[in-house]
Amino acid sequence: MSLSSSSPLPPTPELDSNGIFSDEPLREAREQALRGDWQAARHVVEDAGRDWELRGWRIGRLGLAAAEDDGWLGAWLRAEPADPTAVLLQAGTMIRRAVQARGIASSARTTEEQFQGFHTNMQAAAPVLRRAMRLAGSDDPTPWAEMMRTMFADQQTREASFDEVYAEAQRRDPYHFEIHLMAVQLRLDKWFGSHEQSFATAREIAAAAPAGSGVTLLPLYTHLEYAKREFHWDVTGDVPKAACEAYLRRPEVQDEVDRAVAKWRAGTPQSVLVPGWLQWLALYYTLAGRREQAKAVFDEIGPRVCPRHDWAYFWDTAQTGYLTAWRWANGGRRPVPGTELASTRSG
Q: What is the pLDDT of residue 6?
A: 53
Neighbours of 23 (CB within 10 A): 19
Alpha-carbon distance of 327 to 311, in angstroms, equals 14
In the chain the beta strands, taken as DSSP E runs, fall at 14-15, 304-305
Taking only the tens of pLDDT, the chain with its 347 residues reads 455 555 678 889 998 766 667 788 999 999 999 999 999 999 999 999 999 999 999 999 999 899 989 999 999 999 999 999 999 999 999 888 887 777 666 666 767 777 777 778 888 888 999 999 999 999 999 999 999 988 888 666 677 789 999 999 999 999 999 999 999 999 998 888 899 999 999 999 999 999 999 999 999 999 999 998 888 765 554 445 678 889 999 999 999 999 999 999 999 888 999 999 999 999 999 999 999 999 999 999 999 999 998 998 888 889 999 999 999 999 887 666 665 543 333 22
pTM as predicted: 0.87
Segment holding 305, helix H or strand E: strand 304-305
Question: What gap in Å lies between CA 230 and CA 193, rounded to an integer?
Answer: 15
Give me the pLDDT at residue 255, please.
Answer: 98
Measured distance CA(198)–CA(33) in Å, rounded: 38
pLDDT, position 268: 85
